[in-house]
Amino acid sequence: MRGSFRRAVWGLAICLLVLPFRGAGGATIRVASPMTPPEWALLERELFRANTAACEEFFARYFDDRGYLECVERWGGDDGPDDAIENCNDWPHLHALGAPEKVLQMYKKAWEGHLRQFTEARTKQVPLAVDGMYYKEFPVMFDWQHNAEGLSVFNLQGLSDPGDVKFGHRVRRYAGFYMNEDPGAPNYDSEHQIIRSLFNGSRGPLLRRATPRDWAGDPIEVESRFKLGHGERSYDEMLAHFQEYTDIVGDHPLNLLATTLALNAYMLTHEEKYRLWLLEYVDAWAGRMEANGGVIPSNIGLDGKIGGASDGKWYGGTYGWAFTVRVPQTGLMDHRNRVHWSFIGFMNAYLLTGNDRYLDLWRKQADVINAQGKMLEGKLSTPRMYGVDGWYAFEPGPYQLNALEIYYLSMKPGDRAATAGDPWLKYLDGEDSGYPVRVLRGDLSRIRQRVEGMRRDSTSPDTRLADDPMEYNPASVTALIQLMQGGLHITRRASVLHCRLRYFDPIARRAGVPEDVAALVEAMTGDSVTLSLVNTSQVAERTLVVQAGAYAEHEFHSVSGPGDTETPIKDSTFTVQLAPGSGTQLKIAMKRFKNRPTLIAPWDRP
C-alpha cells in the first residue's frame, strides 16, 4: 500500500508557497494534487464517526443530566472517585485529534459532575473522607496509583480547552497542593525534597499507618449485588485484600506522578516556579537512584533517608519492590510492585529539558536488573521484585518496562533494541505496510464490541459501582494517536501527551484536524517525519495547522514535497491548505525538544 501511494503522490504536482497565515505562524503549503482517498484515510474518518456516536450512547446510558455517574458512590482502592471519571478516559484524546465538539462537551460535563458528586459523597467509618471524598475539587488524600487514574482526563483537557477559566484555576490550585501554597495541604517537605506520604492530597499527607478500612472504604453488601474488580466476595475479603497495605509514611516513587500537575501549570502560565519545583523533585529522585546502586528506592523516610520509614529497607513500602501480598480468595501470593509507573515523572522532566540523564538512569536500572538474569526452564528470566533474600519473582525475558517510552523520547539506536518486535515501530521502519489498515479496523471492531457489551449490561444504578461501566467505554484512540500524530498512547498514569505532530483547525479555532482531513505518519526518525495528508471531501477545501509536538516543544526546519521542493519553516507550526479531493506526502525536518512547551493555541501565541 505504502509504495503505490507514494508513487501516485510523487507523480502529481504540488504548489509549495511561503505565505503568511494570520495567527498561525510558519509557512503555508497549498496542496492541489487530486487524489482518490486511500483506505486508511477513509477508515480514520469512519473511526472518528464511530467513536463519537458510541461515546454519545455511553454517556446517555451511564451519566445523568448533571454529569453524575449513575452508580453507588464509594471511597477506596476497590472502587472510588477516580473510577468515576475514568469512564471518560481517552475522550480528551479523541476531541484533540478532531472529533466533534460534542465529545469535549460530554467529558467536561462528566468532569464537573463527578467533582460535585464526590464532594457531596461522604464516608461514615473512614476518617479521611467523612467531610467529603473530594475537597477543593481534589482527592482529600490517597495514593498516586489512584489519584493518577482519576486525573487522566483532567490532565489532557488543556489539549483542547486551555482557555477554560475553571481549568486554569484548577491547574494552579492542584499544583499548589504539592508546592506548599495551601497551608491545609503540607504535602511537600522542601528541605528533604520529599512528598511526605504515599497518601496525600488536598488535605495534606497521612502520617500514620494506613488501615485496611482506609483503603477499602465503608462496609458494603457484596454478595448478589456487586461484582468487585479484585474478585472479593464479601466486605471481609475487601478488608483482607488491603491487610498488608499499611506502610505508607514517607515518600514513594508513585508520588512522581504528581509532577504532571506542575507541568500543566507551567505549560499554561509559563511561571518559572512550576518548572523549578518539578525539576527539583525529579532530580531528588534521580539522586536517590544513583545513591542506591542504580535502582530507584521505594521508600524514603521523613528524614529524607533511603528506607527511612521502612527500617532501613530501600525496597520497603506499599507498592514497593518487596510488596508481595496474599490474595484472600485463593491464598496465592501476588506481586504488586508499582515503581515503574514513576517513570512518568522522568518523562515530564525530559519534556522540559531534553536532558538524556532522565532516561539514562532508567537504562542503568534495567542493566542492574538484567544482570541478575538466569536460565529457568530453558529460558532467560529476570526479576521483578526485591526483598530480604534479594531478587525474586523472575519472569521470562529481559526486564524492559518503559523501554518503548525511553526509545520514543531518545530515538537512539541503542534503545531501539529493547523494543524489538513492536508492531508500530516495525511499520515505521517500513516492514509492515498493512499496519495502518489493520489497526484502524481493529479499533473499529473494539468500538462495536464495547457497544454490544454496554447494550447487554443489565446493572441498575444501585447495583453498579463506579468502575463497572469502564469495560464498555468505547473510546478507541490508539491507532489514531500512532498513525496521525506519531504519538504514544499512555493510559491511566496521569501522563501528558507525547507525540511528534499535532493539528489545529484555524478556521474553527479548535484543536484537531478539520472535518474530512486524514493524516498518516509513515516514517519517523529523531530529526524527521514523513507525513501524508488527504482531504477526503470532494467539494470543500480544508485548512489545518501542523504543530511540532503535542505542546510545540519541537521545531520544524523545513518541509519537502514531491520533487524535493523544500520550504524553510524555522517555526513550531506551518499551515496546509488542501483543495477538494487532494492529498500529498510531506517530508519534514525538525529539531526535537527545542522550545518551551505550551498549552496555548497557535493563534493565541505572542
Cα(380)–Cα(21) distance, rounded to whole angstroms? 57
101-148 per-position pLDDT tens digit: 999 999 999 999 999 999 999 999 999 999 999 999 999 999 999 999
Residues in the chain, total: 606
Q: Report pLDDT for 94.
A: 98
Question: Does the pLDDT at position 11 exceed 60?
Answer: no
Cα(344)–Cα(260) distance, rounded to whole angstroms? 8
Residue type, 510: R
- Grid cell, residue 23, equals 495567527
- Grid cell, residue 444, equals 473499529
What is the average per-residue pLDDT within 552-573? 92
8 A C-beta contact, residue 585 and residue 577: no
Q: Report pLDDT for 26.
A: 75
Question: Does the pLDDT at position 18 exceed 80?
Answer: no
Cα(265)–Cα(258) distance, rounded to whole angstroms? 12
pTM, entire model: 0.95
57-84 per-position pLDDT tens digit: 999 999 999 999 999 999 999 899 999 9
Which residues make Cβ contacts (< 8 Å) with residue 123, sequence separation at least 6?
75, 129, 130, 133, 217, 218
Cα(105)–Cα(89) distance, rounded to whole angstroms? 14
Question: Does the pLDDT at position 521 exceed 60?
Answer: yes
Helix or strand run (H / E) with residue 385: strand 379-387
**DSSP track, 243-299:** TTTT--BSB-GGGGGGHHHHHHHHHHH--HHHHHHHHHHHHHHHHHHHHTTTS--S-
**What is the arrangement of strands in the sheet containing 542-548, beginning at the earlier edge strand?**
15-17, 28-31, 573-578, 542-548, 501-505, 510-511
Question: Does the pLDDT at position 44 exceed 60?
Answer: yes
438-484 per-position pLDDT tens digit: 999 999 999 999 999 999 999 999 999 999 999 999 999 999 999 99
What is the average per-residue pLDDT within 325-335? 95
Ramachandran bin of 117, using left for φ above 0, alpha for ψ from -120 to 50, beta for the remaining angles: alpha
Q: Report pLDDT for 22.
A: 39
Helix or strand run (H / E) with residue 528: strand 528-535
346-396 per-position pLDDT tens digit: 999 999 999 999 999 999 999 999 999 999 999 999 999 999 999 999 999
What is the average per-residue pLDDT within 50-54? 98
Question: Does the pLDDT at position 2 exceed 50?
Answer: no
Ramachandran bin of 125, using left for φ above 0, alpha for ψ from -120 to 50, beta for the remaining angles: alpha
What is the average per-residue pLDDT within 524-535? 98
Q: Report pLDDT for 24.
A: 57
Q: Name the band, by pLDDT with cuts 50, 70 and 90, for residue 552.
A: very high
Q: Which of 530, 545, 537 is nearest to 603 (CA)?
A: 545
8 A C-beta contact, residue 175 and residue 262: yes
Helix or strand run (H / E) with residue 505: strand 501-505
> Looking at the DSSP assignment, which residues form a beta bridge with residue 558?
568, 589
In angstroms, the Cα distances linking 143 to 29, 119, 431, 547 are 48, 18, 42, 35
Cα(245)–Cα(61) distance, rounded to whole angstroms? 35
Average pLDDT, the chain: 95
- Grid cell, residue 52, equals 463519537
Q: Report pLDDT for 20.
A: 36
Domains located in the chain, CATH noted: 2-33+500-604 (2.60.40.1180)
8 A C-beta contact, residue 342 and residue 254: yes
245-289 per-position pLDDT tens digit: 999 999 999 999 999 999 999 999 999 999 999 999 999 999 999
Cα(500)–Cα(554) distance, rounded to whole angstroms? 8
